[in-house]
Amino acid sequence: QVQLQGSGPGLVKPSETLSLTCTVSGGSIGSYYWGWIRQPPGKGLEWIGCINYSGNTHYNPSLKSRVTISVDTSKNEFSLNLSSVTAADTAVYYCARRSAFDLWGPGTMVTVSS
Amino acid sequence: DIQMTQSPSSLSASVGDRVTLTCQASQDSRKYINWYQQKPGKAPKLLIYDASNLEIGVPSRFSGSGSGTDFTLTITSLQPEDIATYYCQQYHNFPWTFGQGTKVEIK
């Protein structure tokens, strides 16, 4: 059974870079798009971007200048980097599979605070 | 960007009621709409993909319909475990976008 597990720091300082990794277990990262979605406390879902196994990426224009998503097929994982963070980037960050997000990681709460 | 507008923002209904949630896209999204259920503290769960296809394992009381700009999620007989927030999402065009959600409560 394929599972996703996100990992990374739960606290990031303002102006620094938020870095998260999503590990795919029980299956191959080959095929599909793999994406990141975030949810600020008490608010709705925001799509951040996605990548496929060959490295093709698409980003939300509202975050594009600060976002990088990469994939490491040898480790069966994909990663999110969000630079120059502010308090507005405080959210639960989810990794998910496909354009119909049929599989989600449990979410990583990231707080931006000094 | 395609804006997704859900209505109502919240609703209260009785167990056994038929509940209808709507989602309107600002542009033609063909059939490329998905619906998710999110319970507090949990990741969203896919219910319906491509507007009307029931995800494996999802109870048959959930159904989806629509195409183009107007979409509907129906719960034919509301159950206590259906208390959640429901989101629609389009993937016809990048950036993929979500609606703001409909919170469903029991009366």
> B99 to chain A: which residues are within 8 Å by CB?
44
Q: What is the pLDDT of residue A62?
A: 95
A91 and A20 Cβ atoms separated by less than 8 Å: no
Give the closest-approach CA distance of B35 to chain A in angstroms.
Answer: 9
Average pLDDT estimate for B69-98: 97
The share of chain B scoring above pLDDT 70, in percent, equals 100
Q: Which residues of A have a CB under 8 Å from any CB of B?
A: 35, 44-47, 50, 58-62, 94, 96, 99-102, 104-107
Average pLDDT estimate for A40-65: 94
Strands of chain A, DSSP E: 3-7, 11-12, 18-25, 33-39, 46-52, 57-59, 67-72, 77-82, 91-97, 103-104, 108-112
Mind listing the pLDDT tens digit for each residue in A27-48? 988 888 999 999 999 999 999 9
Cα separation, B61 vs B58, in Å, equals 8
Q: Which of B1, B34, B100 sits opposite A44 (nearest CB)?
A: B100
Residue, of A28 and B36, whose pLDDT is higher: B36
Mind listing the pLDDT tens digit for each residue in A72-109? 999 999 999 999 999 999 999 999 998 889 999 999 99
Average pLDDT estimate for A11-18: 98
Mind listing the pLDDT tens digit for each residue in B50-60? 999 999 999 99
The CA distances from residue B53 to A23, B70, B94, B101, in Å, are 28, 16, 22, 20
The CA distances from residue A67 to A83, B43, B94, in Å, are 7, 22, 15
Do the chains contact at B101 and A59, CB–CB below 8 Å? Answer: no
pLDDT at B94 over 90: yes
Q: What is the pLDDT of residue B70?
A: 98
